[in-house]
Every structure is written in C-alpha cells, then in structure tokens.
Amino acid sequence: MRILIIFLIAIGFGQYEYSLEDVNTNSELYGTSIWYPSLSDYITLHYFATQGWMGWTSIFGQLSDFQEELHSEGYDKVIIIGVGKDFLQDSFGETFCENSVLPLVLDTSEDFINFDIRGQFEASHKEIVIIGSDGNLLDRIVMDFDDITPYLEQMYDIIIQNYDTSILGDVNSDGTINILDIVQLANMILLGQFEQTADLNMDGTLNILDIVLIANIILDDWPTSTTIILTSPR
C-alpha cells in the first residue's frame, strides 16, 4: 500500500524532484534527505543560490525569517530550500548558512557550468522556483535585489492561494480524526459518494480499506493509559 501511495505521488511530481542531504547544521533537518518524497506534501520554495556572494547570503537569511513568519501564522507545510553548489561549500558554506535555519542541498556539475538540479528545474541564478504540494509548478521569481521585500507579497499570495488546509482522514472537516469520520465514510461508501480526504490509500475509490486506515490513525492517537471497560446489557 505504501508503494502505491509513493507511486501515485511520483506521477504528480515527475519533472521536479530530488532527494539530497541537508548540509546546513543550523537546520532542524540537518543530515536528512530532502525534499522528495519526505516533504512531497509541502509547498516548497527552491532558492537557487551561490555560496560566497554576500547578496545571495543575505537573501538566504531573509528567506529564513520569512519561513518562520509563515509557520507562526499556521502555514506549517511550507518549506524553503536553498540549492547551492557543491564545490563552493567547503569554502563558503558556513558563512552562507550562519543566519539561516533553512535546509541547504548541494547541486552538482561535471563542468562547473551545467548543474543537475538547475537543469531539471530550468532555474537561473537567484531564482526561487515554487512547487505546489501536488508537484506542479506554481511560479518563478528572480531575485534582482538583495532585499526580498519587493517579492514578499507575491510569494505570500501564491502560498495562501495554494495552501491545502484539508486533513487526510478528516472526512467531516471538523479539524480532527475520530469515530465520526468513520461513520461518515461508511455512509459515503453505501451511497456511492467520493471525497478526496476520505480516500486514505489514494486508489480513487472509497471502501473498507479506507475505514481500516482511519481506524488505525485513531488507535495510534489513543492514549496508552486509557482503559476501555465493556459491559454487557443486563
């Protein structure tokens, strides 16, 4: 089932995907592989930079502050990723990351001109490529200045307009997953209805498998100290 889910996500992503180690020691994701598939349900902003250039370093720090602001407003599933160049990391990586908690991955090149990820994203230097949680391209923004202020409104609007607030398994959209979602899902199955948030295994249909998956979510969240007492009717 997990293979099926990853396969379906991969269909959506196609052109835009990579999985590389985060090398920024200030990042919470340091040492882990990002961005696909672990963050494939996030809106991602990919900042194509060159370590060692002061203006680009400044932007990386400002973008870090922007992400923190987004998360404080509840937009947790947004992540900004710096895409640097591997041959510059040893000389300039520490300085580049000193004011940023954003993950940084390293693009590679055999000739120091044509880089793998930049080629895949068709990205230019100082460009931010914004990818939606469905893997589709949302926008491209070239940072012509060393201050991100002129671009904040554009980035913010794109994120707000495309941010998915639905919770997979929250069938009745009340913000939590519980027995009421199972009841509603069972009714939808009987009536032949379909709702994306109820299709937990993403197979395009609602059936008993989706009920089982919701039940597993509920059981995983059930307090281990809770004791359920069953009594027979008198």
Give the integer Cα–Cα distance in Å for 99 and 192.
53
54-72 and 149-162 helices, crossing angle to 10°: 40
Residue 186 and residue 99 share a domain = no
CA 184 to chain centre: 28
Tell me the per-residue pLDDT of 154-193, one tens digit each, with 9 for 90 and over: 999 999 999 987 788 899 888 889 999 999 999 999 999 9
| CATH code of the domain covering residue 67 | 3.40.30.10
Q: Are residues 228 and 185 in the same domain?
A: yes
Give burial (CB, 10 Å; 0-12/13-18/19+) of 114: exposed
43 in Cβ contact with 30 (< 8 Å): no
Range of the domain at 199: 166-234
How many domains does the chain contain in total? 2
For residue 46, give both structure tokens. 């990919």
Residue type, 41: D
Cβ atoms 29, 19 nearer than 8 A? no
- CA dihedral (26, 29, 32, 35) positive or negative: negative
Domain identity same for 89 and 117: yes
Quote the CA–CA distance of 178 and 106 in Å, as a whole number: 42
Are residue 148 and residue 62 in the same domain, yes or no? yes
pLDDT band at 14 (very low <50, low <70, confident <90, very high): low
pLDDT digits (tens, 9 = 90+) for 58-101: 999 999 999 999 999 999 999 999 999 999 999 999 999 999 99
pTM: 0.72
